Structure 1
């Protein structure tokens, strides 16, 4: 049978209101006296804040009304296995607190029938600038973050009933505290976790992914069966490197959807922190265990019998073009964010514009000498660009758009080899045409990773990073990807 959607979070006894003839559970406004008692009982180290709906971003079926945030998923095209429980996500901006926290308690005011639900996902920024995985606060409970930190981000997950009707959230208040309650998940090592899992092609062109991305032809992203590693729309906070042994091809891409089969199966994590099915060995998806071994009665999270053992879905461009796959098959997947440093945390502009959102960033080439290549391993995405050095600029220009003025750190990714330039010049320009800096890097070293060029203040508009050919002759410069964070 299908799993029953969780009820929304309760901060105190719930009342019952009627809306359109249906019964809805509703959390009442606390009295002034009750609020005072809560304040007196709380520790002096507790951080409290209220998220503003006007500042957040959500999938298209989430509507801000005078009543609050309404989930209306009626016409949204989703993956078939997700139709039984449509979920809309609404993400608030990251927030820096005055003191570190490791425990988050959500206090919501919302209306929902018993078949609907509201969940709160929270993540924390790690010291190296990357985000932890998301952690979900269960009904009436708290979210224990993987580690303590001062910068956190909150995401709402609104779950509809089987008729496509969703809840209404009117207020999102949170309390953060340092309780020594971090979930002890600092298992990251120098080597990212890697497992062989069965991959299926996502398809669904024209549909909408869990993070709100509209799927296009020859798209490039993957789906994993847990929101814990779901990146923002167009973001690259959580990425995987997928290799297909039969062709020897690999690609690196972001996690933009949830599935296949399950939605709470972070199988790459140790059993001690796995959200569900803690008795399964690390690295084995529940759908695979159900399909091959009859685990859970041979059923998935929603009571269905999996038609395959899939642990990852791959979008068409990555599936067909980048990996050379023609049928669903076994692949080797490296979960890059588990390595503690190789996962980007901001906007990535790739050397292949097919991987870019042109409204946010793109690459532009001058001259005719830039050539696409996959000869040296460790490239970002599906390839990199190489050009011989010469006494001419003819740059590869990475453009990126900022809606408002901001201070941003720029990282660059390249492949390293002995024929690379040791003085490859990256030139940083702002949207006003002011040259901010020239940073020369040694591309014979530190390949296959993000390398920080520096931090600058940029105005709103189209800013750019150029990699010039004009440096010592007899070598190559490599334009692979930049990250703006």
Structure 2
């Protein structure tokens, strides 16, 4: 198994959704990247089993120039620093993805999450970890299945990358809906308060 990384030169006239197709031993995987940012460094595409017939192709884009600079394959035991979240026990379906980190001026302005979805679809997300720390930040909604992965590239030329935590919230799933009995002693108007603590939600009822 090898890590695939790519490199390009960034500019405002580049494609916002350049698609690399990795032809590997187990099929094809498309990885979408924004070539307007994160140029001049190796960017993680995924972890693949490669053979003699494997290759990487880069298609055209309608919204800007696509830059085919370089592709690199690294053995898994020599790969760059990566934080990996493996979704082995998850139910197949759509999930909202939230990320969390501690902010500081020395953090990376371009920390990159790579989201490997159901069906071989891969998408990269760039966040600025110098701000919005200490809270759950919405990253997007994605289709996951057992075996899906989320990785965070630990390499950045702009600062330290913090791999704190991720949270998944199922979309439209009855199994993830909760209900509380009011339990009030006296019928009438009451304040209903919601307490939030690290993504765990509960409702409290308080008499007026």
Q: Which structure has the larger Rg over C-alpha atoms?
A: 1
Normalised to the residue count of structure 1, the TM-score between the two structures is 0.18
Greater per-residue helix proportion: 1
Greater per-residue strand proportion: 2
Higher relative contact order (CA 8 A, sep 6+): 2
